[in-house]
Chain A
């Protein structure tokens, strides 16, 4: 079974802090994605990556950056956390040539105070 893990289930950070959210997948997937989920807004794509050291902006990249140094790991970075970044963050991965379904991690609920 595909497994996607995220470093924390719950995280509380202060405004202005630099925050790292880590995601690891164990199925050798090329594609990895970061979403945020907010009530009434559904899932919105922040960044995605098709390969190591490759990244592309999604729909809402402002205030975020990413890093993909290894194929299995995709990190989301909040350079200076703000209260409007309080949200549920979901990581996903898939294989580009196989079924289009994405495999999701359990999510990290981030609160910025």
Chain B
């Protein structure tokens, strides 16, 4: 069953602009993660935010988590053409294992 749902499904911006992507989920989580996938390749982990954290930064990435609204956002600042990719949020449940449930993904296009 799909837990994370990303919004929008597709996003097209100009290089240098900021890109904001949203993810909503349904049940309690241990952590929420964002991954990037370049066309036809495997996924690469970007950032993880735990359920007791509200905001986290990594380079040009900023992730927020609102557990009361069961939502997260990923902000990419000063976007580059190389940021063009699909982005997925994934949630890890509160159980004993580290199984992830992925959303359907957001396609980001950054125009040079």
Contacts and interface: CB of A to CB of B under 8 A. Distances in A.
Interface residues of B, number: 24
Interface residues of A, number: 29
Given A43-B88, A99-B48, A100-B92, A107 B41 contact: yes
A42 B97 contact: no
A39 to B, nearest CB: 9
Interface of A: 4, 31, 33, 35, 40-45, 48, 50, 58-59, 88, 90, 92, 94, 96, 99-107, 109
12 contacts: A31-B97, A42-B103, A42-B105, A43-B88, A45-B100, A48-B97, A58-B99, A99-B48, A100-B92, A100-B98, A100-B100, A107-B40
Interface of B: 1-2, 30-31, 33, 35, 40-45, 48, 88, 92, 97-105
